[in-house]
Amino acid sequence: MDKNTAKPKLTARQEEILSLITDAISRSGLPPTRAEIATRLGFASANAAEEHLRALARKGYVELTPGTSRGIKLPKQLNLPIPALQQLTLPLIGRVAAGSPILAVEHIQKQVPCDPSLFDKGADYLLKVRGMSMRDAGILDGDYLAVKKTSEVRNGEIVVARLDDEVTVKRWSQSKGPHGVKIELIAENPDFENIIVDPRRDEITVEGLAVGLIRPGGL
């Protein structure tokens, strides 16, 4: 085995934690918090879980983001003896309930076998498209839209936006006018009207950026 790619062996406890992280990401698309790891595995505190996570990071099995409770990532290129990691998946989001995070467990219909790194900017989840308002952009009813979680988007990009608790896929346009910022969510189908948003009156949140598309008939 190439010494440059071989990773150090894990202790039984480290394998247990890595399996817990993998299962959580597979089920919900999100890693567990330190406190959740401590509770599940019977540690006295979250600090004990943190020590094991740092050991996993030193060995190259996880990447940690300081200062965030769920700042645990699995590296893209892992050659691990854990079956759950060998099949890369993305959570498929169906209907989104008002007031709930888009990646809440109850919104996940299933896990779709798909390597997130296939998309240039990476993808965090798939959103099942409803309706034909983006037809002329090649996005059809029932398609799976690959989405990267971000709130930073540019004019002309296709976004997933939450407007007054309704989730929609549209092309983003933002400009400054005499009365402040104007946002327009542009449909790609003449049968549908664009949505004009006044941030002073309307509650709008960008949930992510469209980075690719899967037509489920090919899965």
**Which positions are catalytic?**
133, 170
Q: Following DSSP, what letter does each residue of the chain receive, concatenated?
A: --TTT--PPPPHHHHHHHHHHHHHHHHHSSPPPHHHHHHHHT-SSHHHHHHHHHHHHHTTS-EE-TT-TT-EE--SS---S-HHHHS-EEEEE----TTS-TT-GGGEEEEEE--GGGSTT--SEEEE--SSTTGGGT--TT-EEEEE--S---TT-EEEEEETTEEEEEEEEEEEETTEEEEEEE-SSTTS--EEE-TTTS-EEEEEEEEEEE-GGG-
